[in-house]
Amino acid sequence: MSQYRVKVYKEYFDFSAAHFITYGGRCETLHGHNYHVEVTLEGERGPDAFVFNFSDLKPLVRGICDSLDHKMLLADQNALLKYQLNYEAQSEVQTIEVTFGKRRYLFPLNEVVRLPIENTTAEAIAAYILGQLRQALTNQARPELATLRRLEVGVEEQPGQAAFYSENW
């Protein structure tokens, strides 16, 4: 059986976001990246001779990137982080307070994305994006999906520093 691979990595598959990571009982300093995303699909060519039409794939990836752009990324499944939602009636602003040991952060809730991951590493963000892409593709019910075999998402934090996550389709 032959196998083809297509990769998309457009300049607008990017997002700027802040995060911090907990590891080894420590908390890394709050910082941000200009992330860049690439997507690889493997499979056989479908009835239209594509593995998957680039024109149909690009808006899906861009939408996922846009949902993370200019946000504070928080790991919702991190047992070391405690979350508390607050509402400041005077300013009518909803906030989220995040604590890790003695550290305390306060963010406007509308500037936060709580990801269903254990830590906001590039690896976990790549897995999250792949899950979002899988869901978006499944919702389209396209004939090309029958010939897909594997998906891969790469998340680059900076040039020369990237993590990849892949799953069988």
Q: List the domain boundaries for the chain.
A: 4-168
> Which CATH topology does 4-168 take?
Tetrahydropterin Synthase; Chain A (3.30.479)
Bridge partner residues of 14 (DSSP): 36
pLDDT at 92: 83
Helix axes 122-140, 54-68, angle to 10 degrees: 130
Residues 92-136 have pLDDT tens digits of 889 999 999 899 999 999 999 999 999 999 999 999 999 999 999
pLDDT at 1: 54
CA angle 154, 142, 167 (to 5 degrees): 30
Q: How confident is the model at residue 46 (pLDDT cuts 50, 70, 90)?
A: confident
pLDDT at 2: 60
Q: How confident is the model at residue 26 (pLDDT cuts 50, 70, 90)?
A: confident
DSSP structure class, residue 73: E
**Other beta carbons less than 10 A from residue 108's beta carbon:** 13
Question: Alpha carbon 54 to chain centroid distance?
Answer: 20
